[in-house]
Each structure stands twice: as structure tokens, then as C-alpha cells.
Amino acid sequence: MNGAEILVKCLELEGADTIFAYPGGASMPIHQALTRSKKIRTILPRHEQGGVFAAEGYARATGRPGICMTTSGPGATNLVTGIADAYMDSVPLIAITGQVPQDMIGRGAFQETDVFGMTLPVVKHSYLIWDINDIPRIVKEAFYIATSGRPGPVVIDLPKNIQNQKAIPVFPETITLRGYDVDKRASDKDLLEVVRLIQKAKMPMLYCGGGIITSESADELLEFVERTQIPVATTLMGIGGFPETHPLSLKWLGMHGAVYANNAVNEADLLLAIGVRFDDRVTGKVEKFAEHGTIVHIEIDDSEINKNKVVTLPILSDLKYALRCLNDLLAKEGFKRVKGNAFTRFTPWYEKIQAWKKDKPFSYKATDDAIQPQYVVEQIYKLTEGKAIMTTGVGQHQMWAAQFYNFDKPRTYITSAGLGTMGFGYPAAIGAKVACPDREVIDIDGDGSFLMNIQELACAHIEKIPVKAVILNNQHLGMVVQWEDRFYEGNRGHTFLGDPEDNDRIYPDYTAICKGFGVACERVIHKKDLIPALKRMLASKETYVLDVKVPYTEHVLPMIPANMTYKDVITE
């Protein structure tokens, strides 16, 4: 077999069924081998960035590694943003890049870039293959590294001459990586201390992040909550890790999170932080975050412990193991599992939280005709009964989707959180739909974010991927406009996306663009037309775009300004 065929066989052995791959000179042999694969579907994105985001969508929806591939040079550099995005959000990703022949490396050859060196800060690991006989071992290692411990992206750079060489491959059944230990287990002593802290607490809170989802620990978390009766707030990455319709859910906290969630986390006397990294969008001024409470941090990545916030009790552990052990300890200590709404352990604390909920819920001002973006998300939630997989771009629409849709299952809110990458939503929806063809997948996007990877309409149409997109079109870079209004006296610094010679014209015309791609699209301007249009979109069995005109004056509230505290929240 030649090197390209060995690579494809290795992917098949790892269970790969889909690869998002854009061909070029340095990766052509691999594409030729892929045409002969009976197990792997090769999907052609229309831009390499679209391909890596689609691979991320696949990975985030399933937990399995997403796979993307490009040629060398500009193809590889177009992957870098997506690789960084996967790194920030702990997404398992295999990024394969063709490379110029070995004897041309370092000589400034046509379409040569040092993708190995360029991606070093934003990968979990990377390989430049120098021997055809190493391909089977490296691919097996790459999949293991990408999916074990704290997941992340792995780059495999493969020179073209090795793709064309021939060898008799030996496929390893097991691998050993010296120094790479992902079997992190909390000690009984530390876990027993957690139980003792819960027994003494009067106002405890759970602060849960994306680690709950990546470790597949949602069921264990639910049992832990129903035994301890401790309320839960998630991060943006943790959305869906705990059911948001559960009576102990406070939805999510942070800059645009629920007022009551931020209040509860910051005023708790015991904060159990599980699978989180104390991100600045959650903590605000970090030295003031949860400053009066005892903080326990359970986390699998020791580099995150005491990095942003020094805690009282750090516990290095796989979350699933830690939660299972805690549930066993709680059962022995007489903590019975309580379902429904019969929670009595911290009654004064619940009453305080309920008062906060009543005082400052997520809300917006209703209108007669203009379509409020929050209203759009609410109607999508009602029509899908909360069962859809939602992806988003980045901006105001991303926050509204999280605020006004209730997510009860993991891997149903797919968003670029840590890197905040515009253009993520639509290709990620394609990847999620490929991974979950029987699920409704909807991209809630902004006009600025959607435009950044609009070429993937062609991918969705040609590949017959019936993904839906709802554009909340305010003709502006909405989140930046909001900051301009709040902190720059409303002075516009190049944030208008429409036609300056005709402010009333909706520009660009997404209905015309979609028609060119062969994709169904309709525009909605009046409130009375929204629900019928949403029903038509959801009933369609094909790729569909809904362009909804919304006011650019609407702000995402609540809002805690950067580096401020929960007490500085803006709600009006």
C-alpha cells in the first residue's frame, strides 16, 4: 500500500465514517485513496475553514473526533482558526494536512508552510510524519490523544512523497505513550471532605462547565444534584450538561448569564466548581469572584487548577469517576435521591434564589410588529419542543439562543465559546447534521457571522444535508454596536453592514444569494409572519434559510461589563 492508502486504512480502523476534506496538490494522493474507501464519506466543504468547523460540529454533537483535511500552505493555514477554536473548547479533532515533499521542506517551496510549528500553541499534540512505517502508530496515537483526558485537536502533517511511497503496513493494536497519564482519580479522603463540606453548608452552589459534557457525566451530575439538592448554574460550554427545565437549574452564569445564577454563585458559602476553568467571561474581576465562599474545584487538567482562581480544595480527577464515588458516599451518608420538586435541604437558600428569579428573569419588551430576536428564539423552542440541536455563530444571537432556549440534553447547544469565532455556526450545523441525521439541526446566526462562511450553502445543498439556518438580521455587528452604545457614546466604528446609500434596503440580499446556491430562503419582516415561516422551515426536508429582520437597537441583557463584578450588572 502507498502512504495515502495506509492513512485511509488507519482512519477506517479508528472507526472514522466522515472526513471534511478540501483537495490540493499536496493532498491529492490521499483524496485518490479516499475515493476507494467503502467506509468513509468524504464531504467537500467550499472553504477549509468551513471544513474544520464542520468537523468540530460533528465532534461536539457526538463526542467522537471530527476529521478534516487540507492541502499544504494556504489550505493548512486556513485551518488554524478552527484548530485554535477546538483547542479552546476542548474538542477532539484530527486535522490532516498535506505537506510538500521532504526534500523541499525548509526551502520555500510552492505552497509550503510550517504548519507543525505554526499550530504548536493551539494543539494538544502534533506530528510531522518522516517515515511511511510510522503512519499506523501515529494515527492510532493521534486518535487516543485527541479523545482521552481533556480532549483537543491533533495535527498530522504528511509530506507528499511519503503519501506516494509504498510499504507493507503493520497496524498496532495497542499503544503506550510514556508520560501521558490520563487515569486521574480523586482520593477517598478528598471526596469525603467534599461530603463533609456539603453537610455543613447553608448556601451551596454547583458551577459546572464543559467538562461535564466531554466526560459524559451528565447522568452522574443529575444524581449528585438530586441527592445533595444543591442548585446548579452552568457555563456557556456546560449548557445541556444539566437539564435547564429542572427545578434546581439556574441556567447559566457569566457576562450575559442569569442575574440569579451570578448572585447565587457569588453569594454561596460553598461553591463546587466541576469541569470549569474560571474563564474571565464567567468570573468578571476574578479576585472578587465567589470571594466569601469555600471553593472546591474538580478538574482533569492540572494546568487549570489554581491558574485563574486559587481554590480551597483542588481535586485532580476524571469527573465521571469523582461523581460516581461522591454519589456512593452520599448514599452511605443517608443522602436519598429526591426527584420532582420536593427539595427541603436548603429551604431558606431556595427562597432567596426564587426571589432573585422573580425579580430579574430573562426578559424583553414585547412589540406589536417589529420582531424581537428573543421572541424568535422562544418560538423556535416551542415549535421544536426543545428537542433540536442548536448551533450558533458568535455575537448577540449566540447569547439570545442560550438565554431563551432551554437545553435539557448534552451536545445540543453547539457554539464557539472560548475563541468566540464568527462564521462558526453554519458549517458546525452541517457537521452536526451529518453526525445526527435524524435530529433537527438549526443554526441561529447573525447576518455578520453567517456571511463569513456563506459559501457552505453550496456544501449543504450539493451534499443534500438538510440543515436549517435562522439569520437574526439587524444589518450591524450587533454585539460591537452594543458596546459602542454602552461605552463609546454610540459612536459607530465601522459596525454597519448594510448599504450606506440606502439604509432601508436589506443588504446583502440573502434570498437572492440562496437562490443562486439552489437553497430555499424566505425573508420575514413582520411579526405576524414569523411563526408560519418557522413552521414551513421546520417542515422542509431540504436545506433552508430564514432571514428575519430584527432591530439593531436591541441589547443583550443582563450584562456584566468586562472586569467588573456581579454587583455591577446592567439590566436596563
Provide the grid cell at 310: 486559587
Of 257, 307, 298, 304, which Cα lies nearest the Cα of 275? Answer: 298
Active-site residue flag, 160: yes
DSSP character for 532?
H
The single residue of 5, 9, 20, 48 carrying the catalytic annotation is 48
- Beta-strand runs (E) in 172-243: 204-208, 232-234
> What is the H or E stretch that residue 221 is in?
helix 218-228
The single residue of 39, 110, 339, 382 carrying the catalytic annotation is 110
Provide the grid cell at 429: 450545523
Q: 360: burial class by Cβ within 10 Å (0-12, 13-18, 19+)?
A: middle
Distances 521 to 341, 384, 426, 471, 516 between C-alpha atoms, Å: 44, 19, 15, 11, 11
Provide the grid cell at 336: 436519598
Q: What is the dihedral of CA 158, 163, 165, 166, to 10 degrees?
A: 110
Distances 156 to 97, 117, 123, 136, 532 between C-alpha atoms, Å: 6, 12, 11, 12, 48
The single residue of 160, 320, 357, 468 carrying the catalytic annotation is 160
Active-site residue flag, 479: yes
Please state whether beta strands 41-43 and 468-473 pair in parallel, antiparallel, or not at all (unpaired). unpaired
Q: Would you say 276 and 208 are in contact if contact means Cβ atoms under 8 Å apart?
A: yes
Active-site residue flag, 110: yes
The single residue of 32, 102, 111, 455 carrying the catalytic annotation is 111
Of 449, 411, 403, 407, which Cα lies nearest the Cα of 557? Answer: 403
Question: Cell 461523581 identifies what position?
Answer: 323
The single residue of 88, 422, 479, 559 carrying the catalytic annotation is 479
Count of beta carbons in the 10 Å neighbourhood of residue 385: 8
CA dihedral over 180, 212, 563, 349, signed as positive or negative:
negative
- DSSP code per residue over 429-468: HHHHHHH-TTS-EEEEEEHHHHHHTTTHHHHHHHTT---E
Q: For the chain, how big is the Rg over CA atoms in Å?
A: 24
Q: 541: burial class by Cβ within 10 Å (0-12, 13-18, 19+)?
A: exposed
Which residues are part of the catalytic machinery? 48, 110-111, 160, 479
